[in-house]
Amino acid sequence: MNHLSVNTLVATCAALFCAGAHAETGKLLLTGGVSSIDGAAGGGLTPWAVIGSNATDDEIGGSAFFTNVGTRDYGLNIVGAAVGINDRYELSIAQQDLNTRATGTALGLPGLHLKQTIVGAKVRVLGDAILDSDTLMPQVALGLEYKTLGSTGLDGTLNALGAKRNGVDVYVSATKLFLGQSLLLNGTLRATKANQNGLLGYGATLGGNENRYGLQPEFSIGYLVSKNLVVGAEYRFMRNKLEKAGSVAGLGNGLRSQDWKDIFIAWAPSKNVSLTLAYVDLGVIVPATTANRKQTGYYLSAQLAF
């Protein structure tokens, strides 16, 4: 999947948005979530069981988004789109572009960008977040994400570490909306081999690492301050399999990773537009080149949906 195909899909969804922006749907504001960094509907860092777009039963909708993340040593731009079908199925695509900044320079690769394409699918299998809001039944969805890391000057390093350039994540999400209490809770369990969400490849066999899937939990909480404003937080556990391989390669803990977290506010000025601002803490990312600095900073995302 190349940049052209991603941008074409985003442009198509934007055009459909313009054509259908005034159509009324039955979905409440923000109950379809926003666009996650991997393209699936949910929070900023993690998918939820909700189906993206404003479409309800017997409707097809879409969304397009742009996200910019800036931390102390890195910059990340993400563009993507999703299609929701009958409020049960979701197809998504996202293109991530990580600017390594000083890390690339330290590695002798000034201007290094790590680009990853993510194609996702999700299906709601149990419950309905709105209709079951007065019960304990959550909405439950199963999803998968096929991730491909583009070729860069790091290919030789990843090969030496035993890390692949593509992988598949599988997850199950349960989302519970308590309308009476203006509260949303989500839990996601992800089976993955990804290092730093795939931006540093998948798995690592150097040093006797077993290239197996690991289960990583992810949590979100949101409070509806008003019908169009939500504040909340997310916590996403991350694999740290690459540190052992890096140590064997003589890098000490230079490839260590840590959990990701954020505090966010999402605002929907209309049914078709949502804006998300967050403070993010992504832990250390390649600390060998960043003096072990934690990658804290901002997350800003805009989404159009119909």
Tokens of residue 298, six digits: 């901002």
Q: Count other Cβ atoms within 10 Å, centred on residue 22.
A: 9
Q: Where residue 168 sits, what CATH number does that domain have?
A: 2.40.160.40
Instruction: Domain count for the chain, please give it.
Output: 1
- pLDDT recorded at residue 30: 83
- pLDDT recorded at residue 19: 39
- pLDDT recorded at residue 40: 98
- pLDDT recorded at residue 6: 53
**8 Å CB contact between 204 and 162:** yes
Tens place of pLDDT per residue across the chain (306 aa): 454 455 555 444 444 444 333 334 457 888 888 999 999 999 999 999 999 989 888 999 999 999 999 999 999 999 999 999 999 999 999 999 999 999 999 999 999 999 999 999 999 999 999 889 899 999 999 999 999 999 999 999 999 999 999 999 999 999 999 999 999 999 999 999 999 999 999 999 998 887 899 999 999 999 999 999 999 999 999 999 899 999 999 989 999 999 999 999 999 999 999 999 999 999 999 999 999 999 999 999 999 999
- pLDDT recorded at residue 7: 55
- pTM here? 0.90
Of residues 114, 97, 116, 96, the one with CA closest to residue 152 = 114
Residue ranges making up the domain that contains 229? 3-305
Which residue type, as a one-letter code, is found at position 157? T
